[in-house]
Amino acid sequence: MPDLRHTDIQYLHGVGPKRAELLKKELSISTYYDLLYYFPFRYIDRSVINHVNELRGDEAVIQLKGRFLTFNTAGEGRKRRLQALFTDGTGTIEVVWFNRVASIQKTYNTNTQYLLFGKPSMFNNHLNIVHPEVDVVTTENVAQGLTGVYNLTEVLRNRSFTSRAIHKLIVTLLETPAVQHIDETLPPELMQRYHLMPLPDALRNIHLPSDQQVLQRAQFRLKFEELFFLELNILHYIKGSTRRLVGHVFSRVGAYFHDFYNNILQFPLTGAQKRVIREMRHDMGSGKQMNRLLQGDVGSGKTIVAFMTALIALDNGYQACIMAPTEILAGQHLETIKPLADAIGVKVALLTGSTRKRERDVIHEALMNGELQILIGTHALIEDTVQFRNLGLAVIDEQHRFGVAQRARLWSKNRVAPPHVLVMTATPIPRTLAMTVYGDLDVSVIDELPPGRKPVTTVLRHEPDRFKMYQFVGSQLKQGRQAYIVYPLIEENEKLDLHALEQGYEQVRDVFPHYNVAMVHGRMKPAEKDHQMMLFASGKAHILVATTVIEVGVNVPNASVMVIEDAERFGLSQLHQLRGRVGRGADQSYCILMARSDLSRDTRHRLQVMTQTNDGFVVAEEDMKLRGPGDMEGTQQSGIAFNLHIANLAQDGQIIQMARNAAEDYLRDDPQMESAWGRKMAAHIREIFDKQTNWGLIS
């Protein structure tokens, strides 16, 4: 019997070499297994027939039964198209094809009854459907019930590779003996406890469901299995790594920490800050390497927590480093930390790509002899020439902006044992995502802001409101405040976006002639960019017109207004990060989202989320629901990489928890996975995950 994972898809009846090459290139379907696990993304009831006179043009997909009235070609060359008029007796709708015009014109006629399936839209106030699926009406296809709809690429559509074509190939595959006799992957006791459908039945019913109830049972089985093996892999790894990784033992909290806490710290720590410091003290004193993720919204006080954690390393005779993604952010960490460190006699230095050779030589020598205790910097910290005497703690800020290989190089900075690792992010990560992607990390959360901080007031405005928006910004400037005005800079539209930014800059200068306006974007030379940033940070510039280059690393407490142009082009997490640039002082701050008036329902909902909450975790949950977990910043290069075929981390939180509980229960009884089922499942895990690098060891 052929092995599904290694049988080339070209050998399936109806595929062949050319189609196989197309499937591999466009959908990454190379084997029988890949096709079997290429699940529908939604289902439609093909027994439901819609009527033209009921259509509004905004339906997802519809099915019409009727005949073509006319066929006409229009345009020349590449713009040539076939236009047809279709009627179902209640009205008419235009049907358009832009590809294979001659072939389609020969295929269909005006005397036959057809089923049309596709997405309607309005064009020039007329209903139309572009490139629908067309079938001759038969007794069989009119009686069809639930039918899966498969994701396709534009290239496949242009080659007439429809969802129906994928469906036919899967029906053929399901009839092969290899699929009909596929082995079960889960132990019997697990199947019984969670009332799971057998795997062969689940795979058939996910593609060919007889009704909604059977479909739901198949979906639950396959989601549970996918998440169970993911959690089993993570938890089994954690147990193994916990045994393997010995860490430096920081047994004491001494003079540096107590002197700073009792005599230098000028404000009380929040309860959340105290809690996470206790968690890290426990980790670093346990004899095992700390591997902790610290989440906290912008302004929640992560830097002070990182500094106090570094002081624990110093109290035990070790050094610490803090790595940030930009020179500006590294410089701001230095500005925050150096006065505090100086007050207790701790030596701190900054190392970036701009550091001159003479300064570098001094830093390298001071690191090696132990005189330099805390090094703050950028990617320059991971250069081979940077060697510590005894690095005990590595703090990585905005960790998703570093590649995993870059983070891993910090390990080589201590030859005896890897340093304790603290990774920090101001991009909140939803609980379900943290449980899986960062399942091998301990997670700490600073979930309260320092006393006196006022929530930022966020409003959604449109082009007709522009004059009022400028009036409001002017009122804030008159009070001595400063303002950001941010434009998108998307790579695909770089020239257009830069033009819009420059036009916006000139417009702002015209509107506010009595104020200094600075401009920053990522294409500027570093020295000019830093100069413009410093003009704003020092108060010499009152308005900063910028791209998202200011998303991380600009701390101007006097700035009270953030205007985000074309806000509909930003993701929720990015909008939240930008909003975090204001509200850093004691004054009330404002975020104004400028967007088009004709927003889609989803886009309007996304922007309204911003106006309704300042809670970064609520924003992150909504962002994941709207965009999916694969688009969340950093998840593709962080934690344990994985690809999900059917489970959705935004929507399947309850199943994730069930799968995790099941994995924990199983490992409690068979921790080494040495039983017959344990060995079988371990082999299955290797098949799933061996091609994917497990970066959990280095956060």
Domains of the chain: 1-46+145-182 (no CATH), 64-138 (2.40.50.140), 255-446 (3.40.50.300), 457-613 (3.40.50.300)
Q: What gap in Å lies between CA 276 and CA 213, rounded to an integer?
A: 45
Residues of the chain with pLDDT under 70: 1-2, 139-144, 239-245, 399-412, 428, 430-441, 490-496, 498, 551-554, 624-643, 650, 690-699
Locus of tokens 């007889």: 210
Please count the helices (runs of H) and the strands (runs of E) in the chain.
Answer: 25, 22
Indicate yes or no: pTM above 0.75: no
Cα separation of 290 and 615, whole Å? 28
Cα separation of 412 and 414, whole Å? Answer: 5
Instruction: Find, among 417, 53, 103, the residue nearest to 250 by Cα.
Output: 417
List the one residue out of 565, 527, 510 whose CA is nearest residue 328.
527
How far is residue 654's CA from residue 460's CA, in Å, rounded to a whole number? 34
Vertex 368 angle, CA 363 and 373, to 5°: 65
Cα–Cα distances in angstroms (integers) from residue 587 to residues 259, 456, 533, 537, 540, in the given order:
32, 10, 22, 17, 20
Residues in the chain: 699
Strands 319-323 and 391-396: parallel
pLDDT at site 225: 95
Strand runs (DSSP E) across 204-342, as ranges?
291-296, 319-323
381-414 tens-digit pLDDT: 988 889 999 999 999 987 555 555 555 666 667 7
Q: What pLDDT was estimated at residue 635?
A: 37
Please name which of 560, 496, 548, 556 lies closest in space to residue 522, comparing C-alpha atoms. 548
Which of 466, 512, 505, 508 is CA-nearest to residue 489?
505
Separation of CA 319 from chain center: 33
